[in-house]
Amino acid sequence: MSRSGFVALAGRPNVGKSTFVNAVVGEKVAIVSDRPQTTRRAIRGVHQSGETQIVLVDLPGVQRPRDALTARMARRVEQEVEGADASLLILNAQQGVGPGDRFIARTLAATGRPAAIAVNKVDRLARGPLLDVLEQAAALELEGDVFPISARTGAGIPELIEHLGALLPEGPFMFEAGTSSDQSPEVLVAELIREAAIRRTFQEVPHAVEVIVEEIEYERDLVRVRALIWVESQSQKGILIGARGAMIKAIGTAARKELQRALEARVHLDLSVRVRRDWRADDGLLDRLGIS
């Protein structure tokens, strides 16, 4: 009998949830940066080995809501955790266990579902301090085995995946074999462009950026992409364009490289920057962006 189910990933911003999903799926389905709040939507990444299919649900980091966008992100995390078959709490080994982690652990424990705990970024820690963090993790108010891992190097991931598979119920696969994600090409393309933009900007700018893909045109060995980058103010627009267009050019070059890899074709990318005030507070707009 096969096993299949959803594992919700929970953890503070920046612990490496999206990096973990990409490592397990074996391709980039979720964008990654060292800016908190990079992940806005719940993204499903599918892992399959033998008779087991694990659907990892990559989620925004748990944090206090500040506007309609972050309120939606927090609600989405709650719903996905409630709806999953199991959960995985991810901790950052470099930071140890803090009050935020304890809060998330209690929330996961309250669902009554099976759980596991991953201590990520062990590549950054010596053995002594790592043992301390593993002990703190085991003492959390969440029942579940603790796994030291590195989403960057892949260390510890096979053991964790095997364990997660065993937590899932018996049943048929949820996704067709070979599927890696539930994202449409438009969303993936928009996310890869957003990643290129937020990696190069600082302070409030990364949070203010959204990317709208207006057109994807497939020609024989070429894909033409036309996309808008939204920001919330004229000064942010200036930052994104940069002196003599240097910044938007750098973003375009980096994004095009990622798109070519993802789409396995040559890509022509046409980017423009628009000011769209307060888009993060506009519920109708967030609906249309698929951030629910």
Residue 34 interacts with which of ligand GDP, Mg ion, none, CB < 5 to 8 Å by class: ligand GDP
Q: How far is the CB of 88 from ligand GDP (least distance, A)?
A: 12
Please state, in angstroms and rounded to a whole number, the distance separating the CA atoms of residues 229 and 235: 14
Q: How far is the CB of 119 from ligand GDP (least distance, A)?
A: 10
Contact 18, 36 (CB under 8 A): no
The strand pair at 86-92 and 3-10 is best described as: parallel
* 39 near Mg ion (CB under 5 A): yes
Other Cβ atoms within 10 Å of 161 Cβ, number: 20
Residues between 143 and 162 that touch ligand GDP (CB under 6 A)? 150-152
> Of 9 and 267, which has the nearer Cβ to Mg ion?
9
Residues between 218 and 277 that touch ligand GDP (CB under 6 A)? none
Please identify, among the stretches 18-26, 104-112, 274-282, 284-292, the one whose residues bind Mg ion according to the rule CB under 5 A.
Answer: 18-26
* 181 near Mg ion (CB under 5 A): no
Report residue 222: phi and psi, to 5°.
Answer: -135, 140
Helix, strand, coil % over all residues of the chain, rounded to 5: 40, 25, 35
Nearest CA-CA partner of 43 in 73, 63, 82, 3:
73
Q: 3-state DSSP call for residue 43? A: strand
Window 13-52: contact mask with ligand GDP (x via CB under 6 A) = xxxxxxx------------xxx---xx-------------
Structure tokens at 38: 């990079």
> Of 32 and 167, which has the nearer Cβ to ligand GDP?
32
Please state, in angstroms and rounded to a whole number, the distance separating the CA atoms of residues 271 and 283: 25
Q: Residue 187: left if φ>0, alpha if ψ -120 to 50, beta else—which one? A: alpha
The strand pair at 3-10 and 52-58 is best described as: parallel
Q: How far is the CB of 65 from ligand GDP (least distance, A)?
A: 16
- Out of 4, 18, 37, 201, point to the residue binding Mg ion (CB under 5 A): 18
Window 122-141: contact mask with ligand GDP (x via CB under 6 A) = -xx-----------------
Query: Contact positions toward ligand GDP, by CB under 6 A?
Result: 11, 13-19, 32-34, 38-39, 61, 120-121, 123-124, 150-152
Query: Contact positions toward Mg ion, by CB under 5 A?
Result: 17-18, 39
